[in-house]
Structure 1
C-alpha cells in the first residue's frame, strides 16, 4: 500500500480535481484505490457522487478515533475506488484534538495500526485542504510521498517554495521517510505565453520531479463535478481525462522505478 498526499496550500490549483481523477484513473487500470477526503468543503466526496446526507461516517470520525478507515470507507460508482468522505465537522477537529498526544499521527495510525490491511488497497490518495493546518500535517505524516498540483501561473514557484519548506519540516520532525513523488502542472493553456514560460521555469527549477504529463484547462473536466462524476466517467475522451490517464501511468512507472532502485 502506497500513501500519496496531494497538497498545495494555495486554493484553485486543481488539487481536488487531480485527487478525484487520478484516483479514478488508477482504479481504471486495476489498482485498488482509496481516496481520503480531508478537506472540510468535501468537494472530492461530492465529485465522486457521495451525497452529503449519506456521509454518516467520515474522515472526522477517523481522526477523533470514533471509526476505523474501513468503517468510514464508501464504495463509489468507479470499480476498485472507495472514498472516506468529508463533512464540515472537520472544521472543528483541530481544536478537538489540539491537546491530544500524537495528534499529528491520527491518520497514520488509522492507516497502519487499526484494522487496515496493506493488501486492502494498492494506493491511498489523500486530498488536503488549501492550507497548512493540522489536517494537512496529519496527511503528510501519514504519507509515503507528496504530489503537488501546481497551476501554470506567475506566482507558481513562490508558492512551491513555501510548500517544499513545510515538507522538509515534516520530514525533519514527524516523517523522516516522506518524499516528493512529483509536481503536476495544471490548468495549462497553450495559447498563453506565460503558461509556457511557467512550465519551462518549473522544469528548470525542479528537474525530474516534474511529471512529463501536463494537465490542460478543459471545460469537460470543470463540468464533471456538478454531475457527481470524475471527468474520466463524464467524458473519457476529452483532453483533461486523457491527461489524467497518462499521469496515472506515469505514477505507476515511477513506483516501479523506485522498487527497482
Structure 2
C-alpha cells in the first residue's frame, strides 16, 4: 500500500467516532477499505442470510465447480462494542461459508482470522494506529491480488489432482485393486510441509524444560477455584502450551466440569483415577490420564472419584505419602508445559500432597470479605509448608474471579484489603495481585458451562446450540479474560523450570 493509501486510511478512520453505529462502520470504513484492497463492487456481497442471520460482507464468490471457497467474510460491530465478544459469531460464518479468512471489526479494532479444516485461529489484531503502521501486511493478507493468486494456485492443484486421479483410474482398468486409492494415505510432501509449518507456528518449547506444576488453591470454597482451573488450562492450550489437569478433590467437580462422569466414564469402564495413583505403587500417570478435545483445545485429565473422601485415614498412614504425587509426576514433567492441580478447599492430606508436588501456587479469590480473609490462612500454610520442602514454594499470584464490573467502590476497597494482607505476610513473600485485565467477570455463563450437563471450557460454548447468542457473547467475553490470565501466568513463569 502506498503513502496515498496511508492517508486514505486515516481519512476513512476519521469518518467515524465512538458514537457511530454499525451501519456507519460498514459504509464509511469497510466499503472504502475494500476499494483500497483492490475489490470492485462485483467482488463482494453484503447482508447475506447465513444460518438465519445476516452476514455483513462476503468477499470472493465460491465456485462449487472448482471447489473454490469464499475468500473472506467480514463481520462488523458498532464502535461501542468489544469485538472479542463476537468471535463466536464470525467463527460460525467462516465455518458455514467455508471462507479462508475472516475480518472482525468495530472500526477501531481489526481482528483477522484464518480457517484451517474448520479450526479458526486469530492471525493478527490491530488498532487503527497499528493497522496504518502494518498496512503492507494487512494488504498482503486481504487484497484482491492475494485472493486471485490463491485461486490460481488452488486451480492448478485441482487440475494436478484430477490428472493424477485419471492416471489411477486408467491403471485400475487392468488392476482391480484400485480401491486402495481410498485407503488413508501417508502425508504427501505438501501435507508434510503443512504439518512442519504448523509446528513452527507454535512457541518453541525446549525439550529439557520441566512443566510448571501449579496448585490452584484457596481453603475458602465458592471462589471459582475449579472454574478457574478448567478455563485457565484451556486458555494456556489455546496459546500453544501442553496442559495436564489433576483433580484431587473427591467432589470431582473438575472431572465433571470437563464432561467426564466418574461412574460411567471411569469406574464402569475399568479405568483408574487419582485414588489409585496415590495408593497403588504400580499405577502410573499414564494409567489414569483421559484425553479430552474441545475443537482446537486438547487437555489431559487425571480424574477424581468420591471414594477419595473415604481414604483420608489410609493416606495418613501411608509412609512418605506427602511426596507420592511429586515422585509419580517427575518422569512426565517434560511432556507438559503446565500441570494444574485442583485440590479440595481444605487443609487435609490431599491438599498437602498437592502442595508438596507443586512448583507454585495460584490463589483464586473474589472481592468480598470472607474469601479475602481466607488469603491469610493460605499464605501462612504455604510458608509453613516451605519448611518441609527442599525447594521454595512460591505464591505466583492472586487471581480474581466473579468480579462485579459495576461495583467500583467495593472493588477499590477489597483490592486495598488484599494489598494490605500481602504487605503484612510474616516472611515478606513476594506476592502479586494479578492486574485487572485478568479478572474474570461475574457472568452466569461462567459457572453454567462447567456443570455436569454441559462440561466444557468456555471457549467451546460457541458450539453449544442450546445457548442463546447473548450467552455465547458472554462466554467469549469471559474467556478473553482467561486468555489474559494465561498470558500473564506465562509471563511470570517463563523463566522458571
The answer to whether TM tops 0.5 is: yes
- Three-state SS of the structure 2 residue aligned to 1:125 is strand
Show the counterpart of 1:46. 256
Aligned partners of 1:103 and 1:16: how far apart in 2? 24
| Aligned partner of residue 82 in structure 1, secondary structure | strand
Name the structure 1 match of 2:358.
143
2:413 maps to what in 1?
197
Q: Deviations over 1:110-164 (max 9, x none)?
A: 111xxx3332111100001011110010000000000000111023332100111
Partner SS, residue 494 of structure 2: helix
CA contact (8 A) 1:30 1:80 kept: no
Counterpart of 1:229 in structure 2 is 456
Of residues 2, 6, 9 in structure 1, which corresponds to 2:219? 9
Is 1:85 the counterpart of 2:300? The answer is no
Matches within 5 A, 1:33-182: 33-52=243-262, 53-55=264-266, 56-65=271-280, 67-78=283-294, 79-112=297-330, 116-174=331-389, 176-182=391-397
Q: Distance in 2 between matches of 1:69 and 1:107?
A: 9
Instruction: Pick 1 or 2: higher relative contact order, CA cutoff 8 A, min separation 6.
Output: 1
Indicate the SS of the match to 1:136.
helix
Task: Report which stretch shifted further, 160-169 or 237-246.
Answer: 237-246
SS of 2:449's partner is helix
- Output one character per residue of 1:206-244: Cα deviation in whole Å (capped at 9) or x when no partner: 376111121111111121113111112114853221111
The RMSD of aligned alpha carbons is 1.8
Q: Unaligned 5+ residue runs, structure 2?
A: 1-210, 424-430, 462-471
Q: Which moved more, 1:101-110 or 1:75-84?
A: 75-84
Alignment match, 2:98: none
Larger Rg: 2
2:432 aligned to which of 198, 209, 214: 209
Q: Are the equivalent residues in 2 in contact too, given 1:21–1:230 (CA < 8 A)? A: yes
3-state SS of 1:9 partner: coil
Q: Secondary structure of 2:387's match?
A: helix
Q: Distance in 2 between matches of 1:200 and 1:21?
A: 27
Distance, in Å, in 2 between the alignment partners of 1:155 and 1:49 is: 31
Q: State how far apart, in whole Å, the 1-side matches of 2:259 and 2:384 are.
A: 36
1:218 to 443, 450, 471: 443
What's the offset of the Cα at 1:205? 4.1
**Structure 2 residue aligned with 1:250:** 488
More deviation in 31-40 or 44-53?
44-53
| TM-score normalised to structure 2 length | 0.49
Match of 2:477 in 1: 239
State whether residues 62 and 72 of structure 1, in contact with CA within 8 Å, keep that contact through their aligned partners in structure 2. yes
Residue 203 to residue 258, structure 1, CA distance change in 2 (3 Å):
farther
C-alpha deviation, 1:175, in angstroms: 5.0
**Residues of 2 paired with 1:107 and 1:244: CA distance?**
27
> C-alpha displacement at 1:258, in angstroms?
4.7
Cα offset, 1:203, TM superposition: 3.5
Change (3 A) 1:14 1:248: same
**What's the secondary structure of 1:187's corresponding residue?**
coil
